[in-house]
Amino acid sequence: MNTNNIFPSGFSPVSRVWIYQSNRPFNEQEIQEINEQLLQFTSQWNAHGAPVKGWGQVVLGQVIVLIADESQTTVSGCSTDSSVRIIKSIEKQYEVNMFDRLLLGFIVKDKVQLLPMAQVAYALEKGYIDENTIYLNNTVLTRQELDTHWLQPLKDSWIARKLGVKA
């Protein structure tokens, strides 16, 4: 799956990335409102008074990606805290959970499907997902990793190693 058309160009490969996966898809209206809030946030994002070149958007209908280009301004703890605050505000506003790290995201029939880690082996066994199903590796930390390792076949992920999935 190609993400080149999703994310903006002009960000350093070492830009910091944060990925927040919602426990449900957002509807069109919610996506519009959230993207507007993220645009307002990133346009005013500062680290110790210096502007941070940032970007944030809902992608795949239920995942928020934030990018901060640190080639000009390093993101401080305070500016990271402010990004978490906006995500927590979105959580409250739309009654979603954006911090459930136990739900793993997969692309099934062009939609994000969430599975608890405990059910992945069962889903594989029943053919709901297979070794080529795209997994959302939300642990990526940089723009370069986002481009190369965010959406990856299950067989290339840490889950495959954990479950002993053969490619």
Q: What is the pLDDT of residues 79-122, one digit of tens each?
A: 567 888 999 999 999 999 999 988 999 999 999 999 999 999 99
Give the global pTM. 0.91
Domain residue limits, the chain = 16-94, 103-163
Query: 63: closest CA among 134, 161, 128, 167?
Result: 134
For residues 45-67, one letter each, b for 16 or more C-beta atoms within 10 angstroms of the residue's C-beta and e for the rest, the string is bebeeeebbbbbbbbbbbbbbbb
The whole-angstrom separation of Cα 36 and Cα 16 is 21
Identify the helix (H) or strand (E) that includes residue 32.
helix 28-43
Q: Give residue 44's pLDDT band: very low, low, confident or very high (50, 70, 90).
A: confident
